Structure 1
Amino acid sequence: MADRPRIIGIDLGTTNTLVASVKNRIPKIVPTDRGNLILPSVVALSGKGELLVGGVAKDQMVTNPKNTLYGTKRLIGRKYQSRVVDDLKGYFKYDIVEAPDGDAAVTLGGRIYTLPEVSSFILKQLKTIAEQFLGGPIDEAVISVPAYYTDSQRQAVKEAGKLAGFNVKRIVNEPTAAALAYGFNRGLDQKILVYDLGGGTFDVSVLHLTGNVFEVLATGGDTFLGGVDFDNRVMDYVLEKFWEETKVDLSQSPIAMQRIKNAAEAAKIDLTLIPNVVIDLPYIEERKGKPLDLRIPLTRENLNALTMDLVDRTFEICDRVLAEKGINRSEIDEIILVGGQSRMPLVQQRIQEHFGKPPRKGVHPDECVALGAALLADSLGTIDSVTLLDAVSMPIGYALPNGRVRRVIEKNSIIPLVKSFRLPPPKDPGAPFIEMDIFQGDSDLMVDNEYLGTLRVPAESAGRKIDFRLNEECLLQVMVEEPGGPRRIELATRDTPELLKKELARVAEERAQKAEQSASSPSSHQEGSGLFSKVKSIFRRG
């Protein structure tokens, strides 16, 4: 019998990416960047015009912030004309622009790159390293994504894999992959909660494990809550303290900001193990020709106070996810921690208080997603393959003329699934086509959800059955019943719908008016006019 083609599992993270493979049923992480197990998810263009990926790209971030792309996982698969991208424009040092297809894109050295292209550079690097380490070509992969990713984001990750030369056999949710790493072939019968606090996203999933059947009971998350938000709180603190001591505003210096960003992350990590650190950055700036050094102590208590509300938000999401399915905290047998930020002592302490039991030890928070993806990859097509019953993380529906969304697929529905309804007549009588704008998100309002695309079918199709089908990867297919049989309809996404443009413009106007009112009110000058509030607006969403 011919050897099965080699297949790997990939955890494409906001801050770091990992790859794993299985040999003799044992999954192992493949060493990547300079012998490390992780590859920084950073892409850059050097001054000489060379494309850099991983550690070398991260190393020159301080001196080349404009041409260094990081955190692009928060942007991939999103429309440029969306509230999320609008909020992110001030978050990164690089330029976010609109691609010809209406998606968000970035510029590097004056050239526009799509977000799938950027991710493909990271995946190509992984492919090369894995092939060298494992010896031989690798053309197939299973790639993990946050459970809270929309259809567009999942499609974009799949496209990135294709651009990197992979046949992406499966997209799998990160918490589900972590559960696989924990429970595969262990013969368990448990309800587990996967608490996944990574570099840029937070996911929580509750699963029922029965042997090698993994059923997702409920899932939820926030794609704007992760380790980088904890780093930004430390940055705010450092900038404010330095301003108090020197009256120098470092937020205007890109190089100083990058040094502070790196130091903030390092200090946060150190405080996991020790109670006190000093953030020490010599010659951070100069004044009247003399160097200014930055030296600011930070304690674990300081860090806890700065980030308590972020940790609280994760538990609010946990409670909401449990409540949606009527699951009591006492029913959870094990809590699995995933993501580097879950190592924070405050997180572990709050889990003990919240659930009445400590988190499970023995599952590596950084590696378990890649290991689980590799186990799933290895089991595909085998007789004793694992059974995954995953769930939809966000509802899918279509926009109504009043700016609201009518849901077709509800949250936490088990996939794969099919939901059918009858096509309504065209919005305008006599129009040659029926157009329906498709959205995904938890809100009832179109403007707060992600636009997936527009369904366009001839007017004579009114009254015919239409199917919304979600496959096991939670990817949407739309089928319309026709006299000759069902026909697949591709969603058109080139232009942002006019109704959505109007809603976005209205929201932007409301924001501007609120900002004007708050600027003119006496209290705002006392509360929000300092450097701290300015840094918050630059570095944090909302």
Structure 2
Amino acid sequence: MIIGIDLGTTNSLVAVWSGETAKLIPNALGKVLTPSVVGLDDNGHLIVGDVARERLQTHPQVTASLFKRHMGSAHETLLGHRPYRAEELSALLLRSLKEDAERYLGEPVTEAVISVPAYFSDAQRKATRVAGELAGLKVEKLINEPTAAALAYGLHHKEEATFLVFDLGGGTFDVSVLELFEGVMEVRASAGDNFLGGEDFDDLLAEHFRASPQAQGLPNASDGSMAQRLRREAQRVRHALGQQLQATFTVREDEREWALTITQNDLARLAQPLLERLRAPIERALRDARIKAADLDEVLLVGGTTRMPLVRRLVASLFGRIPAMQLNPDEVVAQGAAIQAALKARHASLEEVVLTDVCPYTLGIETTSGDDLRRDYGLYLPIIERNSVVPVSRVQTVYTVDDGQTKVKVRIFQGESRLVKNNIFLGELEVPVPPRPAGEVSLEVRFTYDINGLLEAQVHIPLTDERRTLVIENNPGVLSAEEIAQRLESLAALKVHPRDQQVNTVLMARMERLYQESLGDTRQYVADLARQFQHELERQDERAIREARVLLTERLDRLEQRL
């Protein structure tokens, strides 16, 4: 069985093709959204999803979120006494999604199509594949999130269409221009920002509250718990401002209360710098695709942050039309990934569609310019330009710069800067050349880039017919095969909290958070509820526990509405 997974910064989802439609798979709590949060419980067991998110505020030192932003880097997060890379944390999340799917489908799941932001670099894409491997999944394909959204919207059923996908999630922003013609869906251009999403709007609100006179005297916990409380309250306020003209940012601590009223206009003013950051990738994608906004047939909104009225107003003003919003923006990518999974499995109920992709970054080499009197070193010579349709092969000719030169070092980079020092170094080739006067020996440098993100660099010296080839499949920050094997063994030994108990543990974590947030009689009420539920758990009567859980959830829902 092959499934589709939306591995998100804030939330993740898993879906499967049911024969007629893409079906979202619920987790152990009956929810289709699983928070992308990983942590440790009081016994040192790993916890994932809602229960980990509840403990993010109360136990921030042993809980991790937003780790998708570090994919493809060597950044590590310490949970307890063990450091985890972003791939490992993502693998734990993927493993829980895999278990949810297996429980729902009643059969083993070994393969998956996983979505990635269109603007993910090669290193980030490879890290995502590694995460899947660590989770026990064969990653059949990585599908760009905008392409997945287009499949979910059924645009592949049209004969011809040119459309733009505006994808603003919790942590990343993508904009892609796609064209459908004669059964081929081609990505014309992609642009984006891997560090821009709903979490950044939350940070703005939290910082605004913290800097306000109304927050004077607010304590700053050294363990980061206050920062998590502010971020959680900021998220609540942001969501509330999507439905009403104003909302109150409230924090309670030690029988004190701090409150600040924030209006939609306040949020629009605060968010102006972020809105400006959204404009630049849109303009760049349209420019690279050589298309005008007026020529688009459709604009699709994807990602939960596109629910914000000010974001929708920005999109409508930029394109002069109301964007398509028929599908749930949180779920559309997972649905598209499931459709792609079914296409890979050649499901009989689906008509084949050919998907093409682009290389999201420019690939090139370092060169030197000038003469003996003045030389400019460290210049970037693009060979494969960004947004070239893959697979692609391009060649550039360069020449020796010194008399009697006997070798040339070809250094390979990825990026958009004029200077290589601002780009990402990928690898190098050293090639012998015959000693001749400067400029007499030419080198043909050919780059070939395939759909799996593999770059082959070949240097040919026509004068001697000498050839050197380098295949770049590892990037800085990506685990080697040996490291993957070691991490796989290490993760397999970790104890993961049983998934079928999450319905209980998430309630206990929720009450712990509410206890910390509450005061006086309310705090005592929460303590009494927790004690009663703990007593039911100790009796181990499944039916009594189930009934107590339903009643307790109703009481907590009513309590949170009053807070």
- Flag whether TM exceeds 0.5 (same fold): yes
8 Å contact kept, 2:72–2:477: no
- Residue in 2 that maps onto 1:413: 388
Query: For residues 27 and 346 of structure 1, do their structure 2 counterparts lie closer, same or farther at Cα, with a shift above 3 Å needed?
Result: same
- Determine if the alignment matches structure 1 residue 472 to structure 2 residue 446: no
Letter in 1 for 2:58: T
Letter in 1 for 2:471: I
Q: Bigger shift: 421-430 or 201-210?
A: 421-430
Query: For residues 399 and 54 of structure 1, do their structure 2 counterparts lie closer, same or farther at Cα, with a shift above 3 Å needed?
Result: farther
Separation in 2, partners of 1:427, 1:70: 52
Q: 2:164 is paired with a residue of what secondary structure?
A: strand
Separation in 2, partners of 1:428, 1:124: 59
8 Å contact kept, 1:397–1:407: yes
Offset from partner CA, 1:414-470 (integer Å, 9 cap, x none):
111122356877999988x8654432222223343333x323456479977654222
- Residue in 1 that maps onto 2:427: 454
- Determine if the alignment matches structure 1 residue 264 to structure 2 residue 238: no
Offset from partner CA, 1:68-95 (integer Å, 9 cap, x none):
21111111103xxxxxxxxxxxxxxxxx
Query: 5 Å matches for 1:8-407?
Result: 8-32=3-27, 34-78=29-73, 103-210=74-181, 212-241=183-212, 243-244=213-214, 246-248=216-218, 250=220, 254-283=224-253, 286=254, 291-380=255-344, 382=346, 384-400=351-367, 402-407=377-382
Query: For residues 489 and 42 of structure 1, do their structure 2 counterparts lie closer, same or farther at Cα, with a shift above 3 Å needed?
Result: same
8 Å contact kept, 1:154–1:475: no
* 1:60 Cα deviation after fit: 0.7
Give the TM-score, by structure 1 length: 0.77
8 Å contact kept, 1:143–1:168: yes
Separation in 2, partners of 1:281, 1:244: 11
Q: 1:404 is paired with a residue of what secondary structure?
A: strand
* 1:105 Cα deviation after fit: 2.6
- Residue in 2 that maps onto 1:445: 419
Query: For residues 151 and 17 of structure 1, do their structure 2 counterparts lie closer, same or farther at Cα, with a shift above 3 Å needed?
Result: same
8 Å contact kept, 2:431–2:468: no
Letter in 2 for 1:438: I
Letter in 1 for 2:278: T
Query: For residues 494 and 413 of structure 1, do their structure 2 counterparts lie closer, same or farther at Cα, with a shift above 3 Å needed?
Result: closer
8 Å contact kept, 2:454–2:473: no
* 1:247 Cα deviation after fit: 4.2
8 Å contact kept, 1:195–1:336: yes
Separation in 1, partners of 2:468, 2:20: 41
**Two-structure CA RMSD over aligned residues (Å):** 3.0
Letter in 2 for 1:469: T
* 1:409 Cα deviation after fit: 0.9
Q: 2:4 is paired with a residue of what secondary structure?
A: strand
- Residue in 1 that maps onto 2:506: none
Query: For residues 488 and 131 of structure 1, do their structure 2 counterparts lie closer, same or farther at Cα, with a shift above 3 Å needed?
Result: farther
Q: 2:378 is paired with a residue of what secondary structure?
A: coil
8 Å contact kept, 2:2–2:109: yes
Separation in 2, partners of 1:473, 1:363: 30
Query: For residues 484 and 224 of structure 1, do their structure 2 counterparts lie closer, same or farther at Cα, with a shift above 3 Å needed?
Result: same
Letter in 1 for 2:248: V
Q: Bigger shift: 416-425 or 266-275?
A: 416-425
8 Å contact kept, 2:218–2:258: no
Separation in 1, partners of 2:262, 2:143: 39
Query: For residues 485 and 449 of structure 1, do their structure 2 counterparts lie closer, same or farther at Cα, with a shift above 3 Å needed?
Result: closer
Query: For residues 252 and 459 of structure 1, do their structure 2 counterparts lie closer, same or farther at Cα, with a shift above 3 Å needed?
Result: same
Separation in 2, partners of 1:423, 1:493: 25
Structure with larger Rg: 2
Q: 2:29 is paired with a residue of what secondary structure?
A: helix
Separation in 2, partners of 1:408, 1:365: 37
8 Å contact kept, 1:8–1:142: yes
Instruction: Report the identity percentage.
Output: 35
Letter in 2 for 1:318: I
Separation in 2, partners of 1:268, 1:495: 34
Separation in 2, partners of 1:426, 1:20: 56
Q: 1:34 is paired with a residue of what secondary structure?
A: coil
Query: For residues 193 and 493 of structure 1, do their structure 2 counterparts lie closer, same or farther at Cα, with a shift above 3 Å needed?
Result: closer
Separation in 1, partners of 2:296, 2:57: 44
Letter in 2 for 1:445: L
Query: For residues 211 and 230 of structure 1, do their structure 2 counterparts lie closer, same or farther at Cα, with a shift above 3 Å needed?
Result: farther
Letter in 1 for 2:428: L
* 1:479 Cα deviation after fit: 5.3
Q: Tell me, which stretches of 5 or more residues in structure 1 are unaligned?
A: 1-5, 79-102, 497-542
Query: For residues 148 and 322 of structure 1, do their structure 2 counterparts lie closer, same or farther at Cα, with a shift above 3 Å needed?
Result: same
Q: 2:395 is paired with a residue of what secondary structure?
A: strand
- Determine if the alignment matches structure 1 residue 489 to structure 2 residue 464: no
Q: 2:57 is paired with a residue of what secondary structure?
A: coil
Separation in 1, partners of 2:466, 2:101: 47
Letter in 2 for 1:394: Y
* 1:117 Cα deviation after fit: 1.4
* 1:209 Cα deviation after fit: 2.1
* 1:188 Cα deviation after fit: 4.2
Query: For residues 125 and 261 of structure 1, do their structure 2 counterparts lie closer, same or farther at Cα, with a shift above 3 Å needed?
Result: same
Separation in 1, partners of 2:475, 2:270: 41
Offset from partner CA, 1:316-346 (integer Å, 9 cap, x none):
3212221233311110111100001111111
Q: Bigger shift: 113-122 or 9-18?
A: 113-122
* 1:56 Cα deviation after fit: 1.3
Q: Tell me, which stretches of 5 or more residues in structure 2 are unaligned?
A: 369-376, 435-440, 479-563
Letter in 2 for 1:397: G
Query: For residues 463 and 249 of structure 1, do their structure 2 counterparts lie closer, same or farther at Cα, with a shift above 3 Å needed?
Result: farther
Q: Bigger shift: 398-407 or 128-137?
A: 398-407
* 1:351 Cα deviation after fit: 1.9
Query: For residues 245 and 23 of structure 1, do their structure 2 counterparts lie closer, same or farther at Cα, with a shift above 3 Å needed?
Result: closer
8 Å contact kept, 2:148–2:332: yes
Separation in 2, partners of 1:167, 1:463: 43
Letter in 2 for 1:186: H
* 1:381 Cα deviation after fit: 5.6
Query: For residues 124 and 323 of structure 1, do their structure 2 counterparts lie closer, same or farther at Cα, with a shift above 3 Å needed?
Result: same
8 Å contact kept, 1:420–1:466: yes
